[in-house]
Structure 1
Amino acid sequence: MKILAIDIETFSSVDLIKCGVYAYASAPDFEILLFAYAFDDEDVEIIDIASGEILPAEIISAIQDDRIVKTAFNSNFERTCISTYLKKQLSPDVWRCAAVQSAMLALPMSLNGVGQVLGLQQQKMKEGKDLIRYFSNPCKPTKSNGERTRNLPHHAPEKWQLFKEYCKRDVEVERNIRVKISKYPISENEQEIYSLDQQINDRGVLVDMELVKNAIECDCIQKADTFSKAQLLTGLENPNSVAQIKKWLLENGIQAPSLSKKAVTDLAKESDGEVEMLLNLRLQLAKTSIKKYEAIERSVCPDGRVRGLLQFYGANRTGRWAGRLVQVQNLPQNHLKDLTLARNLVKQGCFNELELLFDNVPNVLSELIRTAFIPKPNHRFIVADFSAIEARVIASIAGEKWRMDVFATHGKIYEASASQMFKVPIEEITKGSPLRQKGKISELALGYGGSVGALTAMGALEMGVAEEELQGLVTAWRQANPNITKLWWNIDKAALKAVKGRTAVAVGKIKIHYESGILFITLPSGRKLSYIKPRIQLNKFGREGITYEGIGATRKWERIETYGPKLVENIVQAIARDLLAEAMLHVANRGYDIVMHVHDEIIVEAPKNFGSLKEVCDIMAVAPIWADGLPLRADGFECDYYKKD
C-alpha cells in the first residue's frame, strides 16, 4: 500500500500537555500552521498554511483514501488535529503510529528519544522546543512586541524558516525510524486493538460538570476553613509549611523526620490533644485528590466529554495501557454507604449539610471523583472486570493444578491459598478469619518472588500479621505453590541461556530468544516483549543476572536489572493485558460502546434498552484460542455513574 507520512505544527490557546489533544484541537483559535508530508520514499514537501498556502486537493484526497496508509509519530495528534481542520472525523483504521511501533520494541515514546537510541544519522532538531514555544503557544503582551498575544511568521521570518525545516525534519526522522524497525511491524491483531483504542479515546466519556465545579468550590472553602483552624490552633503564619509544622511539633515534644501521608497518619494515631488535631488538619490540607477534578475541568471538550484518557502501550514493558490527563488508572476507591446522598449534596452546593452528615469532607470529595463520569442521557454504564486475572494466568502458565481447580470451581483463591498453606480444611476459613487474611496478603505480595519486604510493603503488619510470622508465610506460600516457584527460576535460566547462546529456549508456552541485540519473550498470544541490548552481569546477590537498556525508575534511558521472578511478573501482566484487549474487541464487536477501561475492568456506555451485564461478562469469560483451558470469569454491575461496587 502507498504510505503518506505526515507531521504538522499547530497553534491553540489551550495547553496541549495539561489538557490533551482533543481539548486542544477543540479551541476556537486552533489552527494548523505547517503541514509536512512525503509519499513513500519521495522528498518531503511542506505546506505553509499560516502564510496563506492551501493544502493541495491531492493531499486532502489521500488523507481520506482508505487505500493509502497514513503514518506519523504519535499519529493520534495528527489524526485528531486534521479531523478538526477537515471538519470530518478520520477513522484510525488506516493510520499507523511509529511511536506505538517503537514502544512495542520497548523503545522510548518520544521521537527524539527513539532517534537517539537507534543512533539515526538525522536526529530531531534541538531548536524545536523554542520554536514551538514561540509560534505554537500564546505569548505575553508587552510594549516591545506591540501588545500582541501570539507570534506570526512575519514577526520572525528567519525563525519561521527554521520552523519549516524542523517540521520537515520530523517527517524524515519518523520515516527513518520506520525503516530501521521495519523488521518488527505492528501485527494485524495489534493494529486492530490500536484502532479500537483510538475509537475509545475519540468517543471519550461524559462528565457531570455540575458535580466537578461544585467539588472544586467545596474544596476551596474547606481548605480555607482548615487552614484557618490550623492557624488558630498553632499560631503559625503558614501551617502548610513543612518547616513551620516540624518546628511546632518539636516545641510540643514530637520529633517528626517526615510529614508524608503515612508518617502523619501513624503519628496521629499515637498522639492526642492539640498535636492529634493538627496532624489530622495537616492530612486534610495535604489531600490532593481534588486535582483530578481540576484535570477534568481543564480537559473537557465543548460537548462535555473528556477524551484521550488512555495511552496505548503506555507501559512498554508489558504493553498495558497507561492513564493520561485525569489518570483513571489511579482513582481513589469509594467506600461511602451513602454515596448518592453525598454526591447530590455536592451537586446542589449544600456544603454545610455535607459537613454535618459526613465527618471528613476532603475524603468525601476524593471518593466522589469516580462518580464524575456519567453515561449520556437514556444510557447506563455496564462495568465488568476480570476476577483475579493475574492469579489465574500465573496458575495456568506454571501448571499449578490445585489453583486451576479452584478457578474452575468456586474461585475462592484467598481461602484456598490459606487452606494449602496451613493445611486446614477450606470450610474452616471464613471471610473474617485471620487465616484468610494471611492467605490474602500472601497472594497479593508473593506471586513474583516477593519475600518479607513485599509482605511489609503490602501492609501485612497493618493487617495484624506479627513481624515474626512473615518469613513463615513466605515459606508456606512457596511450599504450597512449588510450580510457580519453579517457573520463576526456569524463566531465569532460559533467559540467561538465550542471551549467552544467542539462541531460542522454550518454557511451556513461553518462548524466549535473542535476535539483533534484543531479548524477545513471545507470549501465548504471539505478541513479543522486548529487552534491548541484554547483557549477563553479576547481580547484587553475586549470581549471574540479566541487565538491559530501557526507561528506568529515573524516567531516563538507562541499564536496568532483571531476573526470573520479575520476568514472570512482566509475562503474567502482559498476558492479562492481551486477555483484556481480546475481550474489548469481542465486546465492541457485539455493538457495545466502550468509554473507558481501568486495569482489568471495562466500562461500557449502553442504551437502557440494549444489552446486559450478563452478556458482557459472558463475552469476557470466553478464553481466546491461544489461552484454551484458562478458566476466566468476569463480574460487574450496572450504574448511573461510575463507581467501585
Structure 2
Amino acid sequence: MNKMLTCPLILVDGSSYLYRAYHTLPLLINSAGEPTGAIYGVLNMLRSLILCHQPTHIAIIFDAKGKTFRDKLFSSYKSHRRPMPDNLRDQIEPLHKIIKALGLPLMTISGVEADDVIGTLARSAEKSGHHVLISTIDKDMAQLVTPNITLINTINNRRLGPKEVYDKYGVPPELIIDLLALMGDSSDNIPGVPNIGEKTAHAILKGIGNLKQIYRNLDKVATLSFRGAKNIAEKLKLHKDKAELSYLLATIKTDVKLNTTYDDLRIKPIETTTLYDLFSQYEFKRWLENAKNGSWLRDKKKIIQAHQSEKNNNKNMLDIAQKATDFLTTQNYKIIIDDVTLCALIASLKTAKIFAFNTHTDSLDEITGNLVGLSFAITPGLATYIPVSLDSLYVPDIVERVNYYNALEKLKPLLEDIYLLKIGQNLKYDQSLLARYGIKLQGIAFDTMIESYNLDSSHGSYDLAHLSARYLNRTAIFLKNIKRNKEYQEISHKITFKQDPICNLEAVDLILQLHLKLWPEIKKIAILKKVFTEIDMPCVPVLSRMERTGVLINRNILSKESKNLGDRLYELEKRAHKDAGELFNLYSTKQLQCILFKKQKLPVIRKNLGGAPSADKEVLTKLAAKGFQLPSIILEHRSLAKLKGSYSDKLPQMINPNTGRIHTSYHQAVTTTGRISSSNPNLQNIPIRSAEGRRIRHAFIAPQNYKILAADYSQIELRVMAHLSGDKMLIAEFNAGKDIHCATAADMFGIKLEEVSTVQRRDAKAINFGLMYGMSAFGLARQLNITHVAAQSHIDIYFARYPQVLEYTKRMHQYAFHKGYVETIEGRRMYLPDIYSRNLVRRKAAERSAINAPIQGTAADIIKRAMISIDTWLMQQKTILVRMIMQVHDELVFEVHESAIEQSTKKVREIMEADLRLTVPIVVEIGTGRNWEQAH
C-alpha cells in the first residue's frame, strides 16, 4: 500500500462539540444578555485540537436544519430527543461566524447528517492518499475506521484505530453497523431486534458473521453457545424488517454529493478585524490579544513549518509521484509536458477519428469550476494527460517553462472538429465547461452514462465507478503492482501537480473500455440504437445550452413572497398551538403523536415499526380529510415551509454572480422512463395549482424587450394512451376536439356535457390519470375521499366507456411479465425487475409501472425530439431573439424578443405538434407574458 501523506486532514463533528459544550459548561451570558457558554466551549475544544495537531487542512461539520433521508426511512428516528433549547440555538449562528473568521472551513449539508458528510470526506481523502483524523465521541463513527482513518475522542484525547475499536466495542470497524442493527441504539432511537442486547449481538456476530451471513444461516444461531440461543433465530426471522431498517439507519453514507475538494479544506488566514469584533461582542476578553495578532489558533513558527513541509512534499512528489509512477508503469499512461509530444498526440487523435476524452477540473460545477487538464485514450490500457492550466502546476524557476500552457489553443480545432468523434462520460458537463474557455465541443458521439442508461434505466446509478464495477469488474480506481517508471521519474523532478492527474488518466481509459463494452450491446437492437443516436445523444448539447443560458429571477418578488410565507407560517403555528392547547414543536413526531392520539384522542390510522401511532404525511392527510383541524394545519404549515425553504428563500442565493441568472442542472439518466429531471434548483417541483406556487413563477421573468413564451403539450399522456390502447371512443373524442375530462365526467355521473361542474371534472381528471397510472379502487377511493364501492363503480363505468384501455392494461401486464420490460413507441426500453418479485407490494408497483411507463416514456421522447428540432432551428437562425431556457414536465419555456413573438409562436407550435405522429392530434397550448406565470 502507498505511503500516506504526512499532513492529516482533521474532520470535526461540530454538532457533537456543540452539545458537549452546552451540557458541560455553566450557562454563560455577556452583558447584552446573549448566551455564550456553548460558543466558548466549542472554540476552546477546537483551539486545543488545532494547537495539538497543527493541521493545514480541516473541516468543521454541523448538522443542517430540517429532516434527513433517515427521517423518511423511519419517522421515529431521533424522535425521542427534545427540541434544541432556544439558548443553544441562539448560539449557532455566532459560532459559525467566528469559525469562518478563524479561516476554518465549515460545512452544513441539508438532507443528510454531519456524520454522512464526515464519512464522505474521510473516504475521499483516504483514496487521495491522506491520513484522516475524525474528532468525535459518536460511536457510530467507528464504522469508518481504517489504518488511515482514526478517531480521536474529544473527552479523553484517546485515539481509536482498528485495534482500539475492537478492544472497545468487541467487533472490528466493519461490523459496527451490524452490531447496531442487532442491538439497536437508544441514543438515535434505532430499534434493532427486540430482546437482543449487546452480549447476544456480540455472540451472534462472532459465531456467524455479518447481518447478511446471519440471515443466510439462521439455522446455525441455535447452535451458538449463549443463553437463549434456541429462541433467538425465531426473533431474528420475525423482526428481519427491523434489523434491515436499523442497518440502513446506522450506516453512514460515504457518497454524499459535495462540491468540495481537498484544497477547499485548507485553513485560510484569520480575519483579524472580524474575529476581534466578535470576541469583543461576546466578551471573550482573554482571547482578544490573540485575535488582534492572529495567533489565536496556532504558533506562527509551527504553521510555517507545516506549510513548508507540505510544499516540500509536493515538490518531491512524495505520494503523488509514487502513485503516478506505479500507475504509469502498470497502465502505460503518459503525461505530456512538451510541444513536440503534444503535436504528435494531436496527429494520432486525428488519424484515429474516434477517441475517449475527459476533463479534469477543480470543481464539479461546470459554471464555476476551473479546467486543470485533459486526458485522451485511443486504445484500451493507454492514456495521455495534458495539464492545461498554469495553476495546476508547480514549476521550479531553474527549469525552462515549456510552452504548453497554450495547450488548449492547440487542442481547440481537435475538440471542435465535428468529424472527429468523441467518447465521454457525462459530456454535457464537458461541453458546458469547455464553452467557458471559448471551445465549442462538437463531434459528441458517445456518452457512456447514456449508453448504460439506454441499455437499462432501472439501475439508478450511472457514475463511472458504478459502471466500471458493473460492466468491467473494476471495483476501485487505485494503484496495484507497484513498479518504477524512469520516464515519469524524470518528469517528477520538473513538475508537480496540485490536483492528482492519475485518477483522471484511469477514468478516460475506463470510459473507452466501457464504450467498447456497451456500444456493441446497443447496436444489436436496432430500435434501441435509434433512441440513442436520434434522441438521447442529440439532446446532450441542447441541455448544455439551456443550462448555460439560465433563467432570469426577480429577487424583490421572491423577497416579498418569503415575508408573506413567513407571516403565514407564524399564524399557522399559533393556530396549531391554540388547537393543541399547548406549545409544541410542529416537526417533532413524538410531541405530535402525544397531542394527536393521547390528548385529542384522534383515531389511530396506522402504527409504525416501534408500535407507536404513525403521524406521517399519509396519516395526517387521512385525518385532515376526516375533518380534524390540527392535522390540516400541520400539513399546510409543512407545505408552505417547504416552498419557502426550497424556492422563495433559496432561489436568490442561487443566482450566479457572473451571469445574474439561475442555472439549473438537467439530467437524462435519473428517471426510469426517459423523462428529463432537474436539480439545483428542481424546477419540476414548483407547484402549479397553488396560489403560492404561482407567485413563485411570477419571479421567473424576461429581460427588457423580451417576453416569456410557454409552450405546453395538452393532455399529452392521455393522447399517448389513446394511441397505444387504440381505444375507438377515446380516439374519436380527441379527434372531435372534446374535453376528455368533461366527457368522462358526463358519463360517470350520467349528466349532459354542459352540466358538468368544476368538481365533477376534477374527479373525472383524477380517474383519467389515476387509471392510466394503474390506480386501484382503494387508491381512487382515498384520493377522491369516497367509499371503496363508489370508487369501484367509477372504475367499472370508465372501462365500460373505454374497453380497449382495460385491454391495454392487461396486455402490458402480460408483456412485462414475459419480456421483463416495456417499451415506448420509439423503442425505449424500461426494465421492471420487480415484476417477478414475491413481495406483493413491489410486484403491484411494477405492474402499475408497466401500464404507465410506455405512456410517460413516449411523452418524454416526444418533448426531447421537439427540443432537438427547435434547437436546430435556433442554431440555424444564429440570433438571440429566441432562447430556449427551461424544460418542465411537458412544457418548454423560451425568452423571445417582442419583435419575434408571432413568428416564434407559429414555429414552436409547428415543430412541437409535428415531431411524432399519433392516431390523435397533438395539441400545444402557447402563452406569453412578462413572467412565467403570465405566460399560462
Normalization by structure 2: what TM-score? 0.50
Could you say which structure has the higher helix fraction?
A: 2
1-side partners of 2:379 and 2:563: how far apart? 53
1-side partners of 2:435 and 2:910: how far apart? 33
Alignment partner, residue 524 of structure 1: 825
Alignment partner, residue 330 of structure 1: 685
1-side partners of 2:641 and 2:614: how far apart? 13
> Higher mean Cα deviation, 425-434 or 219-228?
219-228
Alignment partner, residue 109 of structure 1: 462
The 3-state SS of whatever aligns with 1:631 is: coil
Structure 1 residues 539-618: aligned runs within 5 Å: 539=838, 566-591=849-874, 592-612=882-902, 615=906, 618=909
- Alignment: residue pair count: 526
**Is the CA contact 1:313–1:319 (under 8 Å) kept in the aligned structure 2?**
yes
**Is the CA contact 2:863–2:912 (under 8 Å) kept in the aligned structure 1?**
no
Structure 1 residues 48-447: aligned runs within 5 Å: 48=387, 49=389, 50-52=392-394, 54=405, 56=407, 58-84=410-436, 86=437, 88=438, 90-91=440-441, 94=444, 96-105=446-455, 106=457, 107=459, 108-118=461-471, 120-125=472-477, 163-183=500-520, 184=522, 186-216=532-562, 236=583, 238=585, 240-247=587-594, 252-254=599-601, 257-261=613-617, 263-264=619-620, 279=634, 283=638, 286-301=641-656, 302-315=658-671, 317-333=672-688, 335-336=690-691, 364=692, 366-421=693-748, 424=750, 426-427=752-753, 429-432=755-758, 434=760, 436-447=761-772
Task: Report the alpha carbon displacement of residue 333 of structure 1 after superposing the two structures with TM.
Answer: 2.1
The 3-state SS of whatever aligns with 2:676 is: strand
2-side partners of 1:96 and 1:377: how far apart? 39
The 3-state SS of whatever aligns with 1:9 is: strand
Per the alignment, do residues 60 and 205 of structure 1 end up closer, same or farther by CA in structure 2, a change over 3 Å counting? Answer: same
The answer to which structure, 1 or 2, has the higher relative contact order (CA under 8 A, 6+ apart) is 1
**Is the CA contact 2:835–2:843 (under 8 Å) kept in the aligned structure 1?**
no
Task: Report the alpha carbon displacement of residue 443 of structure 1 after superposing the two structures with TM.
Answer: 0.8
Per the alignment, do residues 38 and 387 of structure 1 end up closer, same or farther by CA in structure 2, a change over 3 Å counting? Answer: same
The 3-state SS of whatever aligns with 1:610 is: helix
Normalization by structure 1: what TM-score? 0.71
Task: Report the alpha carbon displacement of residue 378 of structure 1 after superposing the two structures with TM.
Answer: 0.8
2-side partners of 1:280 and 1:189: how far apart? 41
Which string of whole-angstrom CA distances, capped at 9 and with x for unpartnered residues, describes residues 46-67 of structure 1?
Answer: 2344124736354344223333
Per the alignment, do residues 62 and 415 of structure 1 end up closer, same or farther by CA in structure 2, a change over 3 Å counting? Answer: same
2-side partners of 1:576 and 1:385: how far apart? 12
Which string of whole-angstrom CA distances, capped at 9 and with x for unpartnered residues, describes residues 112-159 of structure 1?
Answer: 2222222x14345279xxxxxxxxxxxxxxxxxxxxxxxxxx9xx999
Could you say which structure has the higher strand fraction?
A: 1
Q: Which has the larger radius of gyration?
A: 2
Per the alignment, do residues 610 and 535 of structure 1 end up closer, same or farther by CA in structure 2, a change over 3 Å counting? Answer: closer
The AA in structure 2 aligned to 1:102 is S
1-side partners of 2:684 and 2:506: how far apart? 35
2-side partners of 1:269 and 1:442: how far apart? 19
Matched, 1:8 2:335: no
Alignment partner, residue 460 of structure 1: 784
Per the alignment, do residues 561 and 268 of structure 1 end up closer, same or farther by CA in structure 2, a change over 3 Å counting? Answer: closer
Unaligned segments of structure 2, at least 5 residues = 1-351, 395-403, 480-491, 523-528, 605-612, 875-881
2-side partners of 1:291 and 1:323: how far apart? 14
The 3-state SS of whatever aligns with 1:314 is: coil
Task: Report the alpha carbon displacement of residue 200 of structure 1 after superposing the two structures with TM.
Answer: 1.8
The 3-state SS of whatever aligns with 1:90 is: coil
* Percent sequence identity over aligned pairs: 18
Task: Report the alpha carbon displacement of residue 433 of structure 1 after superposing the two structures with TM.
Answer: 6.4
Per the alignment, do residues 55 and 68 of structure 1 end up closer, same or farther by CA in structure 2, a change over 3 Å counting? Answer: farther
The 3-state SS of whatever aligns with 1:173 is: helix
**Is the CA contact 1:3–1:39 (under 8 Å) kept in the aligned structure 2?**
yes
Unaligned segments of structure 1, at least 5 residues = 26-30, 128-153, 337-363, 500-518, 542-552, 554-558
**Is the CA contact 1:398–1:483 (under 8 Å) kept in the aligned structure 2?**
yes
2-side partners of 1:452 and 1:5: how far apart? 52
The AA in structure 2 aligned to 1:10 is T
CA-based RMSD: 3.9
Task: Report the alpha carbon displacement of residue 189 of structure 1 after superposing the two structures with TM.
Answer: 4.2
Per the alignment, do residues 65 and 165 of structure 1 end up closer, same or farther by CA in structure 2, a change over 3 Å counting? Answer: same
Structure 1 residues 24-43: aligned runs within 5 Å: 24-25=368-369, 31-39=370-378, 41=380, 43=382
Aligned partner (choices 469, 472, 475) of residue 793 of structure 2? 472
2-side partners of 1:564 and 1:285: how far apart? 34
1-side partners of 2:763 and 2:476: how far apart? 53
**Is the CA contact 1:523–1:575 (under 8 Å) kept in the aligned structure 2?**
yes
The AA in structure 1 aligned to 2:778 is G
Aligned partner (choices 47, 50, 54) of residue 386 of structure 2? 47
